[in-house]
Amino acid sequence: MTTINPYSSTYAPGLTAGQTATQRANQAAGYGQTRDQSPTINTPAVNVTLSAAAQAALRAQTDSRTLDAVVAEARAQITAQLKAAKTSSALKDGDATIDLSGMDRRTLFAVASNKGGQMGGGFPLDQQVVAALAMKSQHDAALAGPAAQARLTGDYASLYQAALDQLDAAGPEEKASAAWSQERDALVEGRKQAIARPGLAPAGVAGDSVAAYMSETGSAVAGAKTRDFGKVAGDVRAALDKQYELAFAPEAAKDSSSGEIDFRRFDDRSLSAIALNKDEQFSTHEIAQAKAEIRARDSAAIKASYQSTSEDAGGFGKAMITRYASMTTEEREASGWTPALYGKMVELQASRDKLAQMFNVDGSVAGPASLLDYL
């Protein structure tokens, strides 16, 4: 059996690294025909196994559901999960109570964007946020393997191709959004740089979701997002000491007391271990530099969210609530994202949504309700 991996450099005849997952799926389908089905009688039969990205692209391309049907399915699945979890909300104190990662991307987008065709969206904020988290989880899962390979081999072109394949598996509603177009443009530019400069990570690309992923996940500490926080701190201490031993640039930190510390290989939770210093393993200099890095990353993420949601009224507030929900407890503490701040964001977003409900699309007042009903 022949297996086609869209992230490797070897493909079936006619398949190239430059093709999208959809193009590869379409072309591979031709190779999957039997001898009798093939346009050329002498073409041998080949069984083709498509990658997860190519399969997702093919499913998206052949998805004949109406948007109303997608929304109805989403409501049914969410209702069932809430019932099973014995809760009425998909979020509790900023943490998800249900898992929507089993939904397909088009369904998740319908929930996260709250745009539901003739039936209307009608998904409450908590469900929108959890759907957005599930989309991020699928995105991260698609990049995990290619990212690990890129860190080992410097093959960033395949990593960016994997991100493009994952993005191209979106449904028609998502592809019509400005955010999708902006992200795709950034990934195309990143892949272009990666091809032009083999072995070097692309840099300076606005809205680069791959660069954001690489920064967020890091490579200095394994499993930092889920392991015991004390053990993560110990591994961070060891990684920093090793980095000091290998440092050679004049301005680079060569010990814990001075110099510029390169945090590019450290994920957000590892940085939080330094900033919080719960086990008193880090110096004042290290703590100060880690806090500065956390602020810089936070600022960059907030700016990116603002720019990507500029055409979506209320989108920025939802993006900030989603950001809070995606953080670990330690990351929230280190960055100053307190439960009180979360509560305020939810309150303000709810007020915005209630205000929007007072008016119809044409600007007329929706129903006889008084303004006091929304306050």
Same domain, yes or no, for 330 and 274? yes
Please check whether residues 69 and 58 belong to one and the same domain: no
Q: Are residues 103 and 150 in the same domain?
A: yes
Task: Give the pLDDT confidence of 59-79 residue by residue, as tens digits.
Answer: 666 788 999 999 999 999 999
Residue 79 and residue 38 share a domain: no
Assess whether 134 and 243 both reside in one domain: no
Cα gap 130→176, rounded to integer Å: 22
Q: Is 223 inside a domain boundary?
A: no
13 and 47 co-located in one domain: yes
- Total domains in the chain come to 3
**Residues 97, 46 share a domain:** no
Residue 41: predicted pLDDT = 45
The residue with greater pLDDT, 135 or 356, is: 135
Token pair of 72 as six digits: 């109805």
Is residue 301 scored above 90 in pLDDT? no
* Overall average pLDDT of the 335-351 stretch: 90
Residue written as token pair 């969210």: 305
335 and 234 fall within a common domain: yes
Residue 133 shares a structural domain with residue 246: no
pLDDT, mean of residues 92-117: 90
* Residue 301 sits in the same domain as residue 323: yes
Residue 355 lies in a domain: no
Query: Do the domain assignments include residue 207?
Result: no
Q: Could you tell me if residue 41 is inside a domain?
A: yes
Residue 374 lies in a domain: no
Residue 362 lies in a domain: no
Query: At 56, is the pLDDT very low, low, confident or very high (cuts 50, 70, 90)?
Result: low
* Residues in CB range of 122: below 8 A, 6 or more apart: 71, 75, 114, 116
Residue 5 belongs to some domain of the structure: yes
Could you tell me how far CA 205 lies from the centroid of its own chain? 17
Task: Copy the structure tokens of residue 171.
Answer: 């449904």
Pairwise CA distance, residues 327 & 318, whole Å: 15
Let me know if residue 98 belongs to a domain: yes
Same domain, 168 and 282: no
Residue linked to tokens 């603002």: 306
Split at pLDDT 50, 70, 90, the class of 155 is very high
- Ranking 7-21, 108-122, 254-268, 355-369 by mean pLDDT, the lowest is 7-21
Give the tokens for residue 234.
């110990």
What is the residue range of 292's domain? 229-350
Residues 69 and 195 in one domain: yes
